[in-house]
Amino acid sequence: MKKFRKVLDGLTTSSPGGTMGSPSCGSAAGTPTAAPTPRDIDVQETLVSENFQLCKTVRHGFTYQPTALAFDPVQKILAIGSRSGGVRILGRPGVDCYCQHESGAAVLQLQFLINEGALVTACADDTLHLWNLRQRRPAVLHSLKFNRERITFCHLPFQSKWLYVGTERGNTHIVNIESFILSGYVIMWNKAIELSTKTHPGPVVHLSDSPKDEGKLLIGFEGGTIVQWDLRAKKADFRIYYDEAIHSVSWHHEGKQFMCSHSDGSLTLWNLRNTTKPFQVTFPHGKIQKDGRKESCKPILKVEYKTSRNSEPFVIFSGGLSYDKAGRRPALTIMHGKAITVLEMDYPIVEFMVLCDTPYINEIQEPYAVVVLLEKDLIVVDLTQSNFPVFENPYPMDIHESPVTCTAYFADCPPDIIPILYSIGAKHKKTGYSQKEWPIAGGTWTLGSHTYPEIIITGHADGSIKFWDASAFTLQMLYKLKTSKVFEKPKLGEGRGADLGEEDPFAVQMVSWCPHSRIFCVVGISAHIILYRFSKYDANTQTVSLEVRLQCEPEDIITPSENENNPCFSEPGSHSPQPHHQYPVSPGSRTPDGAKDSTPFLKVKDKTVRVPPGYQSDLVIQLLWVDGEPPQQITSLDINSAYGLLAFGNCNGLAVVDYIQKTVILCISTVDLYGATDPYQRLTRSPRRNRQSTSGLTELTDNQQSIDMERSKSPTSVKGPGRKLSLPTDLKTDLDHVNGHCTSPTSQPCSAGKPRIPMGPEGPRLTRRGPGRPPFRKAQSAACMEISLPVSHTEGHASRRAMLQQLHGVTMYSHDEHHSTASYCWNERESRENSFSRSRSSSVSSIDRDTKEAITTLQFGESYGRKSDALPTPCLWVGTSLGVVILIPLSIPMDHEERMEDPVTVGPSGAVQMLKGSVLRFAFLDCNGALIQSPYEIWRDQNAPEDPDRPRRRKLVHFSPSSSQDAFGEGHLTVVCSERQAKVFLMPSQSCLFVHNITESSFVLRADVVSLCNSVCLACFCANGHVMTLSLPSLRPLMDVNYLPLTDMRIARTFCFTNEGQALYLSSPTEIQRITYSQEMCDNLQEMLGELFTPIETPEAQNRGFLKGFFGGNAHTFDREELFGEAAAGKASRSLAQHIPGQGGVEGMKVAASGVVGDLARARIALDERGQRLGELEERTTLMMTSAETFSKHAHELMLKCKDKKWYQF
């Protein structure tokens, strides 16, 4: 039990480290506030540190920057290597495993130990690794680091424990897979070629053993030399010298021929009977020109020569297209007999592999599919059908179809939402796929017991939205929505799109979704909002468009009296609600010139269109241009289906829209939100500024006295002693990118878009410029925001903040621990800022610059707008970039008819609280510590047929703060989290109960109040990579793990928490990484993941027949141990390679790790296999004995029958 005192005679508690005075707590400011009668509240906080553990779970999407491919034909699992050192192993749907090399070196090649549950990886740092796949989370068993030579090619024969390794110097080394130690047997390049050869043959590009004789090794050198090396005699059988460079070699299964691909686009076929010249030379795509010469072709990077029992052989290769045909896409060519099929690909081909029925290279291969690894996709082609259709990919490989710009994660969704979305999305799936089952079907996977509905939503640069089913650690696309269909297609060279050069005007910036009411809201980069309703029926609809002017003019800064002409609220002393604005009212833009330019960026379709079932657009809200200046991008959004309201804000102000009546009820600048409770003393500009002057914060009480100077306060000139730079973390970046890297040395302040002129002695000057700069250049995908940030503790916070300032192109200030220290002087602040001035733009280099206070977070909910309120009412909680929390009461008609006709009214702003840093999140708890959900409307299909007996009415579900706490009376707790601090307030007294300084050296990027283990906690992700959880309501630290340093803005953009202890972020431009911070889920993770290895008996080799076995060589009598073992070959030089034992993991040690336990495990498996074979042998012996007895009996009967007969009687 956690017992705490809520209110103690006006005093408030604070964290041990929080010595600062906060005007949010009346006593801390020196004047006790009115408080209810003190009482004890017992809150049982069940969460403890043992409930938390952070670990990665699964990774979805396509492998970023793939480099290598491998396939196990018996286990039927596929491995993909990447440039960052990752290895992705795929099997049947649900079997998906990601491994990462600690070195991060690129994976050059992958080799499965076929049907052994192991994988060899060769990396760019010249290290070989042996991975154990007989555990759910693979681990490295051995590593071998080459010190003097670079690895270029590896080959592991089937059922062999000796790995051939080719190097850049042209040498071939041999590694024992079991011990991972080099053999003393080495094939030196100068021995492989003739002594008379004067040039180096080049790196080894191919190694393979002959299908006819395993004792013969074929070595291909890049320079065009091919050598067949006799491993027993240690000499070359033959050498081939060809003029063109070699890229790959492929054997015919009989071992009498092999095919090579070359750099000139040719294929050569060589016969072992005559190696002096190629048996056949073909240019598959090289046509003969008029002058008799062949077209020059691109290199054929790889060729595979596969035989089929019932048809002609398959020759499959990549590349080789003619140089003359410009703009031609990469292609895979399939030559089957005389037919040539060219399959054009959307992306360059990295690697391909032909899948065959048998793992034996000396048998007819019978190819049935081709796996093609592209730079940004993975496809599998069906070879068994003449038109070569593609298999439907069961993995989510198209997350990056358009760059991901935002993510949202919803756990424990309503159970009916996933089937409905799937049924709607299934109608729009592509057709023409192969009817056969997906061939990569290895491993085992079960649903598991700890599953619940989960949905991930991704927003993309082309304006599309994708809904994914993320239940049970899988990811399947449910439904795709295209927001661009709401607008007219921008014409090239016309309109504002041409002036701005905007390439992605529909890019999604943020989303808001209510799974219960199925209301979906999208914020776009062009300062637009689209509201969607879900329907199971198609309909003819016309989207309503609202235009909102939310723009502040520089005249507001110079002439403070203008704000008095159009107040948005009634007098602060009045408690009566202000009637709503029927039309959008822009603060400070009431000039005739501004009206001429009031146009949005995009044009909404104004005609009735037929929309299919699913999400159908209901309302579009667009911010207007003013005087040639673009609207600032939207930084916060919240929607409530029970209230029928939508609120959004940016760095100019706040707007509230009634989407039921399609009207704007509030449009106001941030400074006008405060009323009489403005915490800042906003001074007007004067020609001479006093740099030493400091202005304190006004008293934050419920006093409604009018302050005359309030109307002269500027929303852009915030002053206060010692405020650090801050910013709203939800703002969109605005910077030049080249290949995804930040190159812009400067950034513009987030203001009205006017250039700021430094003030001279004569005072401030403002100049109006022509058409403004582009508000958004090419849409910055969350996937491509890669920027290196320092991680040092001393300069990390300042440097990170400065870099984020550049990314956001915004100047913001926030409260910190110095805001109560009046002696903090300007000189000290300037010296501190100069410490990282090199990395900052000119727009944030001085505290004198004009700034905007942005709306960073919004939350509708039932709360108490005033201390004197007895019952909770609908309210809007507003958080700003200066750490200010404002509470706006709302008056909403509850009756169905009244709600459709009567206006929603907005009351004057109520409570104002203060935190350090930009406000990030709100949440509400009852006095028992349970989370209070926002009210919502039960979904109803507006396009469903009318039922006269049951009129269509709104059904609302409310969660009142007092509904579950009769024993404790009225009131609730409000949790507020900012970039630096978390606070818990008691409503309606507005007393601060708990304060916790989350971080001093960094700042919070994402924060959410989540449910876990039938309780709630506050989860935070900081810019320094720490993931933290705090108990509620006491804000006691429960977990603090240094998980992931912020190396690029992609993580900051896409990181999000959800219930049940889960979170996700975009780990690369093409992959989603899911993590858990729940101890229970970590404990059950093993059973929820798929098994990569399943015990399967290795298929027996085909009977070769007497003649083939007699004349086909002695491949089966070749003993590699006798040649490569230490007794025969000796030890390799210790300086050549270094053996590094791997960790292996606990499960790996039990099953396949090295050492005594591993040996015993392997011995046990071998004994089991031997016992099984002995059992089979015993059964066969019994059958043979029975057959022999039967034969003997019949022979004896025949003898008796013929015993007395003479020879002439037969």
The DSSP code sequence of 633-662 is PP-EEEEETTTTEEEEE-SSEEEEEETTTT
| pLDDT of res. 597 | 60
E strands, 624-760, are 636-640, 645-649, 653-658, 663-669, 724-726, 737-738, 741-742
Evaluate if residue 802 carries a pLDDT over 60: no
Residues 367-389 have a mean pLDDT of 95
Sign of CA dihedral 978, 980, 986, 992: negative
Of 596 and 1107, the structure prediction assigns the larger pLDDT to 1107
| pLDDT of res. 556 | 40
- pLDDT tier for residue 1054 given thresholds of 50, 70 and 90: very high
Amino acid identity of residue 553, one-letter, is E
Of 417 and 559, the structure prediction assigns the larger pLDDT to 417
CB-CB contact of 563 with 672 (8 Å) = yes
Residues 924-938 have a mean pLDDT of 91
Sign of CA dihedral 867, 872, 876, 880: positive
Question: Distance between CA atoms of 279 and 800, rounded to whole angstroms?
Answer: 65
User: Which among 490-504, 937-951, 961-975 has the top mean pLDDT?
Assistant: 937-951
For the stretch 746-792, pLDDT in tens is 333 343 333 333 343 333 333 333 333 333 334 444 444 433 333 33
776 closest CA partner among 800, 805, 809: 809
Q: Which residues pair with 1074 in a beta bridge?
A: 1064
| Helix extents (H) in 682-741 | none
Pairing of strands 172-176, 300-306: unpaired
Neighbour order of strands in the sheet with 118-123:
107-113, 118-123, 127-132, 139-146, 1137-1141
User: Which among 33-47, 313-327, 394-408, 1162-1176 has the top mean pLDDT?
Assistant: 394-408
CB-CB contact of 172 with 185 (8 Å) = no
| pLDDT of res. 4 | 38
CB-CB contact of 645 with 890 (8 Å) = yes
Chain-centroid distance, C-alpha 466: 13
Measured CA distances, 681 to 707, 713, 718, 816, 919 (Å): 11, 7, 8, 17, 20
Question: Distance between CA atoms of 33 and 1122, rounded to whole angstroms?
Answer: 91
- The count of other CB atoms within 10 Å of the CB of residue 1109 is 13
Question: Distance between CA atoms of 910 and 387, rounded to whole angstroms?
Answer: 70
Question: Distance between CA atoms of 95 and 685, rounded to whole angstroms?
Answer: 65
CB-CB contact of 1066 with 1054 (8 Å) = yes
Q: Residue 60 is inside which H or E element, if any?
A: strand 52-61
Spatial neighbors of 554 by CB under 8 A, at least 6 apart, are 752, 754, 766, 768
Measured CA distances, 380 to 89, 307, 350, 352, 439 (Å): 16, 19, 14, 9, 8
Q: Which residues pair with 318 in a beta bridge?
A: 302, 332
For the stretch 425-482, pLDDT in tens is 988 878 889 999 999 999 998 877 678 899 999 999 999 999 999 998 899 999 999 9
Amino acid identity of residue 642, one-letter, is A
Amino acid identity of residue 280, one-letter, is Q
- The count of other CB atoms within 10 Å of the CB of residue 149 is 17
Question: What DSSP character marks residue 92?
Answer: S
| pLDDT of res. 835 | 34
Specify the 3-state DSSP secondary structure of 1158: helix
Measured CA distances, 418 to 412, 470, 904 (Å): 11, 10, 34
Question: Distance between CA atoms of 1027 and 1039, rounded to whole angstroms?
Answer: 8
Of 857 and 952, the structure prediction assigns the larger pLDDT to 857
Phi, psi of 1175 (to 5 degrees): -65, -45
Question: What DSSP character marks residue 1079?
Answer: H
Helices (H) and strands (E) in the chain, counts: 17, 68
Evaluate if residue 565 carries a pLDDT over 50: no
Percentage of the chain lying above the pLDDT 70 cut: 71
Question: Distance between CA atoms of 94 and 323, rounded to whole angstroms?
Answer: 43
Question: Distance between CA atoms of 1060 and 412, rounded to whole angstroms?
Answer: 8
Q: Residue 1128 is inside which H or E element, if any?
A: helix 1126-1129
Q: Residue 1168 is inside which H or E element, if any?
A: helix 1156-1202
The separation between the first and the last C-alpha atoms of the chain, rounded to the nearest angstrom, is 107
Q: Nearest 5 degrees, angle CA 448-CA 454-CA 456?
A: 135
Question: Distance between CA atoms of 678 and 715, rounded to whole angstroms?
Answer: 11
- pLDDT tier for residue 1164 given thresholds of 50, 70 and 90: low
Amino acid identity of residue 1023, one-letter, is A
Chain-centroid distance, C-alpha 971: 40
CB-CB contact of 1154 with 142 (8 Å) = yes
725 closest CA partner among 821, 835, 886: 835
CB-CB contact of 367 with 355 (8 Å) = yes
Evaluate if residue 303 carries a pLDDT over 60: yes
Question: What DSSP character marks residue 23?
Answer: T
For the stretch 213-243, pLDDT in tens is 999 999 999 999 999 999 999 999 999 999 9
What are the b/e assignments for 817-836, b being 16+ CB within 10 Å?
bbbbeeeeebeebeeebeeb
User: Which among 108-112, 669-673, 1178-1182 has the top mean pLDDT?
Assistant: 108-112
For the stretch 269-295, pLDDT in tens is 999 999 999 999 999 998 877 777 778
| pLDDT of res. 43 | 81
Chain-centroid distance, C-alpha 254: 47
Comparing 672-686, 1007-1021, 1042-1056, the range with the smallest average pLDDT is: 672-686
Question: What DSSP character marks residue 1197?
Answer: H
Chain-centroid distance, C-alpha 511: 16
Exposure of 699 in the CB half-sphere (CA atoms within 13 A): 13
Question: Distance between CA atoms of 60 and 474, rounded to whole angstroms?
Answer: 8
Spatial neighbors of 608 by CB under 8 A, at least 6 apart, are 540, 541, 542
For the stretch 66-76, pLDDT in tens is 999 999 999 99
Measured CA distances, 799 to 565, 792, 983 (Å): 43, 9, 27
For the stretch 842-863, pLDDT in tens is 323 233 334 578 999 999 999 9
Evaluate if residue 841 carries a pLDDT over 50: no
Phi, psi of 91 (to 5 degrees): -135, -140
**Mean of per-residue pLDDT scores for the chain:** 77
Comparing 111-115, 999-1003, 1035-1039, 1163-1167, the range with the smallest average pLDDT is: 1163-1167
Q: Nearest 5 degrees, angle CA 135-CA 140-CA 144?
A: 150
Evaluate if residue 398 carries a pLDDT over 60: yes
CB-CB contact of 816 with 979 (8 Å) = no
What are the b/e assignments for 564-575, b being 16+ CB within 10 Å?
eeebbbbebeee
